[in-house]
Amino acid sequence: MRVMIRAHQILTGYQCCSHLCLCVFGGLLIWFAAARFECLAVELQNNTNVRTLIACVEKQLRLKRYAEDVITCFRFMVLFVIALCSFLMTLCAVIMAMNTPVNVKLMFLLLNMYFLMYLYMYAWPADNMKDMSLSLSRSAYDLKWYEQTLGMQKNLLYVMMYQKPVTLSIKCIIKELSLHYYCTYLSNALSFCTTLRVLLDRLTDQNVS
Backbone angles phi, psi at 176, to 5 degrees: -165, 120
Domain tally, the chain:
1
The number of residues in the chain equals 209
Task: Give the separation between CA 101 and CA 87, rounded to whole angstroms.
Answer: 20
Per-residue pLDDT reduced to its tens digit, 57-109: 778 778 888 888 988 888 888 888 888 777 877 777 777 667 777 787 787 77
Average pLDDT, the chain: 78
CB contact burial 57-74 (16+ within 10 A = b; e otherwise) = bebbeebbeebeebbeeb
Scanning 1-49, the segments in alpha helix (DSSP H) are 2-45
Residue 3: CB atoms within 10 Å: 7
* Host domain of residue 104: 2-208
**Torsion sign, CA atoms 22, 80, 119, 33:** positive
